[in-house]
């Protein structure tokens, strides 16, 4: 507990110091709980998520960094590797491929990369995975773009 | 970028037309429900008054507001040399007749002059004047930290007025600087092996009357002890690297001082990845904990074999202690 708290404070200071370094990622620590963070990530360009801002929730276990943070999407997203209802993310570095070398910033970067390169072979969203596996790229992109517009873009007017 | 105002602030009723100096209206309390002693409530004018005063100070300086919405306000105050301070102002239930209380990371707090017509901006101004008075103290501490070999605290807060200074040969002097008169003779205690310390203690008792408040602190200290005080350790790249390396797992230079860690308590990083491109430093305790937490680690007698968390090259750590 003490070691994880100390590391989190260091990461927090690093995030504060490098606030403008990465315009695609914004990390926010809970006011009263260092073990709860949220992040806002921009949808990568040239993907159906472009123009969207997606919110992630980080729940950090006491054994962090020996165990990975639990990250899930709070914003609805149509993506084969993200559970549509729960926002759970199927990403190896958040599970068996975790290492203490990862930071919240680099985890967000990996999630952005996952958005740009979905893996339909291990889907959490079967509809999305099936579209891609059957070769219906247009259908997948159309659905993903629609949900991005619905859930990840600020309402106009 | 300023941190956003927390959501709790939104609960407070706010009138967009709130004006400074607005007359407090009578509390038109509705029929109270039949409850035993409901908690005291602020009149509605309290919130509009506080909002107007925050606007007066500037919302950018407001860091957080907690309590029943706005009863505990934290402001960012920057002093003239650019040090950033957090001033916490707590508004009691009897405010504004009762004065607010303040809290900050300073060696001592100013006495706040308050009347019921005073405004929060007055508190900020008095705190800024207090920071000006403290500049001499902080300048003295900064110079001590720069010139002398400070072993504790490694990262002093603005409130700390003590320093443990290494004199070499495992001898130390623990100083307590008077924050109100930082150039005056400090309180001091000597720590370490008796043989070397005896002469220093004799010198201190004999020479302390020679302390000159017009001279620099470290010059006075060297003169009174009649001793060449060592500089902060910064010689040699290897020593510098060893001193400054953070553990790649816990991100700290030193492990916490903890009985559970036994001989490793408070120690620096003691393992380095052998890959020249990596050379990441670790506490062996942290690396051992990491290797134990994954399934791919192999063990042979009292050695754990695994891969560096950063570059995946082989690493090996002895299992010691429990």
Q: Which one of B64, B250, B309 has the shortest CB-CB distance to A3? A: B250
Residue A18 has pLDDT above 80, yes or no: no
Where does the pLDDT of residue B36 fall: very low under 50, low under 70, confident under 90, or very high at 90 and above?
low
Residue B29 inside a domain? The answer is no
Q: Is the CA virtual torsion A75, A79, A81, A86 positive or negative? A: positive
- Number of A to B CB contacts under 8 A, please give it: 39
Domain of B48? 44-134
Q: What does the pLDDT look like over A121-155, one tens digit per residue?
A: 888 898 999 999 899 988 999 999 899 989 998 76
Burial of B134 (0-12, 13-18, 19+ CB in 10 A): buried
pLDDT at position A157 is 46
CATH number, domain of B193, equals 3.10.110.20
Q: How far is A35 from chain B (nearest CA, A)?
A: 15
Q: Which residues lie below 8 Å from residue B190, measured CB to CB, with a gap of 6+?
A: B171, B172, B173, B174, B197, B200, B201, B204
Give yes or no for A149 touching B (CB within 8 A). Answer: no
* Residues of chain B neighbouring A64 (CB-CB closer than 8 A): none
Residue B37: inside a domain? no
Q: Over range B234-251, report the average pLDDT.
A: 64
B153 and B119 in a common domain = no
pLDDT at site B80: 82
Query: Using the 8-state DSSP alphabet, how is residue A117 labeled?
Result: S
Which of the listed residues B225, B255, B273 is the one where a domain comes to its end?
A: B225
Catalytic annotation on A29? Answer: no
Beta carbons of B268 and B254 less than 8 angstroms apart: yes
Strand runs labelled E in chain B: 62-66, 72-78, 84-90, 101-103, 150-152, 162-168, 171-176, 187-192, 271-272, 281-282, 298-300, 303-307, 314-318
With b meaning 16 or more CB within 10 Å and e meaning fewer, what string describes B190-217? bebeeeebeebeeebeeeeeebeeeeeb
Residues B147-173: tens digit of each pLDDT: 998 988 887 999 999 898 998 877 889
Residues of A in contact with B249 (CB under 8 A): 7, 65-66, 100
Same domain for B196 and B250? no
Residue B205 lies in a domain: yes
Asked if B112 and B100 count as a contact pair (C-beta separation under 8 A), the reply is yes
Q: Which residues of B touch A99 (CB under 8 A)?
A: 309-310
**Confidence at B14, pLDDT banded by 50, 70, 90:** very low
* Residue where a domain terminates, one of B96, B111, B134: B134
The reply to whether B26 falls in a domain is no
B309/A100 CB distance under 8 A: yes
Residue that finishes a domain, picked among B199, B225, B251: B225
Asked if residue B33 is part of any domain, the answer here is no
> How many CB atoms sit inside 10 A of residue B87's CB?
22
With CB atoms and an 8 Å threshold, state whether A66 touches B290.
yes
Residue B15 included in any domain: no
Any domain includes B183: yes
A 66-105: CB under 8 A from B? 66-67, 99-101
Residue range B284-319, pLDDT digits in tens: 889 988 998 988 897 888 899 999 999 999 999 877
Question: Which CATH number covers residue B288?
Answer: 3.30.40.10
Model pLDDT, residue B6: 41
Please state the domain count of chain B: 3
Burial status of residue B311 (CB atoms within 10 A of its CB: 0-12, 13-18, 19 or more): middle
Q: CB–CB of A10 and B252 under 8 A? A: yes
Q: Which fold has domain A1-152?
A: Ubiquitin Conjugating Enzyme (3.10.110)
Which residues from B are below 8 Å from A66, CB to CB?
249, 289-290, 293
* Cα first-last separation, chain A: 47
pLDDT at B1: 35
Burial A114-144 (b: 16+ CB within 10 A, else e): bbeebebeebbbeebbebbeeeeeeebbebb
Q: Is A17 in CB contact (< 8 Å) with chain B?
A: no
- Tell me if B22 sits within 8 A of B52, measured CB to CB: yes
What are the pLDDT digits (tens) for B273-282? 988 888 889 9
* Per-residue pLDDT tens digits for A42-82: 899 989 999 999 999 999 998 899 999 989 899 989 999 99
Q: Looking at the domain assignment, is residue B182 inside a domain?
A: yes
Q: State mean pLDDT over A93-106.
A: 91
């Amino acid at each position: 507990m003490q070691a994880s708290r100390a590391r989190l404070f260091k990461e927090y200071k690093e995030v504060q110091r490098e606030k403008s370094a990465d315009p695609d990622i914004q990390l926010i620590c809970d006011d009263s709980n260092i073990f709860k963070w949220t992040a806002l990530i921009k949808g990568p360009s040239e993907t159906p998520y472009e123009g969207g801002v997606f919110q992630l929730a980080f729940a950090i276990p006491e054994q962090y960094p020996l165990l990975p943070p639990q990250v899930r999407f709070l914003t609805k997203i149509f993506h084969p590797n993200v559970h549509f209802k729960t926002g759970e993310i199927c990403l190896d570095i958040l599970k068996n491929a975790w290492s203490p070398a990862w930071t919240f910033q680099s985890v967000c970067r990996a999630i952005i990369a996952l958005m740009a390169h979905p893996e339909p072979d291990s889907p959490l969203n079967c509809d999305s995975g099936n579209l891609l596996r059957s070769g219906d790229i247009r259908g997948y992109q159309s659905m993903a773009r629609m949900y991005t517009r619905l859930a990840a873009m600020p309402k106009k007017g | 970028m300023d941190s956003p105002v927390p959501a709790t602030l939104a609960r407070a009723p706010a009138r967009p037309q709130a004006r400074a100096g607005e007359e407090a209206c009578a509390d038109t309390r509705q029929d109270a429900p039949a409850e035993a002693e409901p908690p005291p409530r602020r009149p509605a004018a309290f919130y509009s008054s506080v909002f107007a005063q925050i606007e007066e100070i500037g919302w950018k300086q407001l860091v957080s507001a907690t309590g029943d919405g706005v009863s505990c306000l934290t402001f960012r105050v920057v002093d003239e040399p650019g040090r950033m301070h957090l001033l916490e102002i707590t508004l009691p239930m009897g405010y504004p007749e009762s004065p607010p209380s303040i809290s900050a990371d300073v060696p001592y707090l100013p006495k706040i002059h308050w009347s019921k017509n005073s405004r929060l901006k007055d508190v900020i101004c008095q705190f800024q004047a207090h920071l000006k008075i403290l500049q001499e103290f902080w300048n003295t501490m900064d110079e001590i930290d720069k010139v002398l070999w400070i072993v504790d605290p490694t990262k002093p807060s603005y409130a700390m007025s003590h320093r443990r200074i290494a004199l070499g040969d495992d001898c130390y002097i623990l100083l307590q600087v008077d924050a109100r008169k930082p150039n005056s003779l400090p309180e001091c205690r000597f720590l370490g092996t008796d043989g070397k310390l005896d002469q220093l203690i004799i010198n201190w008792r004999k020479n302390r009357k020679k302390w000159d408040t017009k001279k620099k602190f470290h010059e006075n200290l060297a003169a009174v002890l009649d001793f060449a005080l060592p500089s902060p350790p910064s010689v040699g790249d290897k020593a510098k690297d060893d001193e400054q390396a953070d553990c790649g797992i816990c991100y700290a230079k030193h492990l916490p001082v903890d009985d559970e860690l036994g001989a490793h308590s408070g120690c620096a990083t003691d393992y380095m990845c052998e890959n020249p491109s990596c050379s990441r430093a670790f506490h062996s305790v942290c690396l051992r904990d990491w290797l134990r937490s994954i399934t791919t680690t192999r063990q042979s007698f009292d050695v754990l074999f695994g891969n560096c968390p950063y570059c995946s090259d082989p690493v090996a750590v002895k299992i010691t202690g429990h």
